[in-house]
Amino acid sequence: MKICSIASGSSGNCTYIEDGTKHILVDAGVSRKRIVDGMKQIGADPAELDAIFVTHEHIDHIQGIPVLANQFDLPIYATAGTLDGIRAKDTRGVIRMEQLFQIYPDQTVDLGSMHITPYHISHDAADPVGYRIESGGCKAGIATDLGYYDEYIVQYLEGCDVLLLEANHDISMLEAGPYPYRLKCRILGERGHLSNEDSGRLLCQLMEKGLRHVFLAHLSKENNYPELAYQAVKCQIWEELGKEILPFEMEVADRDQPSRLVTV
């Protein structure tokens, strides 16, 4: 299985995953051009895409869907609430009804050799989900826009070889920053986003379960920066487990450029 973060951050998110026979995107929250150009940079052909799986209907996760799905005639998989949100934002009516497929948390979608399972997450959206993708004995996890995590989410992410995990904000930067009080409360709340420290704590529960590569993802442009996120997550792991050297590769997914294509 191969995975690449095409874009990641509060301004747009898109992840490419393929297993040699099937090729999917999880979210398409940047322009069609950026997605196509990003795929070409890593040697992937946009014409080979088989589907788009959507986590939720916020614009930084669906912005490019109408044009992209129309150009490549792609099916769109999402929960009922997310599909309603996508249709509401498709004011030009580009997306056809026959392109929309409803999925259900905890029920696996089989796409050839690829098996995609959505799971419930807590976020301020209609019916948001994360994803676990399995193929050929390998597992990838997509876990962003988490207000919090619990044992249910840990069980879905255990055993993943590669994980795209939210490290949205530094708490001190957020609290001292210019955001309105209500927005700060939303981000820090149970329907908001994971902090750097929360991301590190979650990794402490997953790192002994075969984890090989981690993308720190969905960084806030205003309340975080890559070097801080990386060091804060690493320090949290060190504080809790005493592991100064990480037993997996870790990198921060860029908001403007594709990551390298990671093979597991």
Which of 49, 83, 106 finishes a domain? 106
> Is the residue at 140 inside a domain?
no
How much is the pLDDT for 242? 86
Residues 245, 157: one domain? yes
Do both 96 and 190 map to the same domain? no
Instruction: Examine the domain organization and report whether 173 and 240 are in the same domain.
Output: yes
Q: What's 64's domain CATH number?
A: 3.60.15.10
- Whether 256 is in a domain gets the answer no
Query: pLDDT value at position 121?
Result: 97
* Domain annotation covers residue 28: yes
* Residue at 73 is within a domain: yes
Same domain, 79 and 171: no
pTM above 0.95, yes or no: yes
Q: How far is CA 7 from CA 4, 38, 103, 205, 242, in A?
A: 9, 8, 24, 26, 32
155 and 84 part of one domain:
no
Q: Give the model's pLDDT for residue 192.
A: 95
Q: Are residues 7 and 99 in the same domain?
A: yes
Which burial class, exposed, middle or buried, applies to 264 when counting CB atoms under 10 A from its CB (0-12, 13-18, 19+)? middle
- Residue 209's pLDDT is what? 80
Residues 98 and 20 placed together within one structural domain of the fold: yes
One domain for residues 99 and 176: no
Asked whether residue 183 is assigned to any structural domain, the reply reads yes
For residue 204, the SS3 value is helix
Please tell me the total count of domains within the chain: 2
* Regions of the chain with pLDDT less than 70: none
Pick the last residue of a domain from 106, 135, 168: 106
Q: What is the mean pLDDT of the chain?
A: 96
* Pair (96, 156) in one structural domain: no
| 172-209 pLDDT, tens digit each | 999 999 999 999 999 999 999 999 999 999 999 998 88
What percent of the chain has pLDDT above 90?
Answer: 95
What's residue 35's pLDDT? 98
Domain presence at residue 257: no
The 10 Å Cβ neighbour count of residue 257 is 13
Residues in the chain: 264
For residues 172 and 245, membership in a common domain is answered with: yes
Q: Is residue 116 part of a domain?
A: no
Classify residue 261: in a domain, yes or no.
no
Same domain as 4, residue 97: yes
Q: Which of 106, 129, 158 is the last residue of a domain?
A: 106
Tell me the residue range of the domain where 102 lies: 1-106
156 and 211 in one domain?
yes
Going from the C-alpha of 72 to that of each of 50, 65, 96, the distances in angstroms are: 9, 10, 13
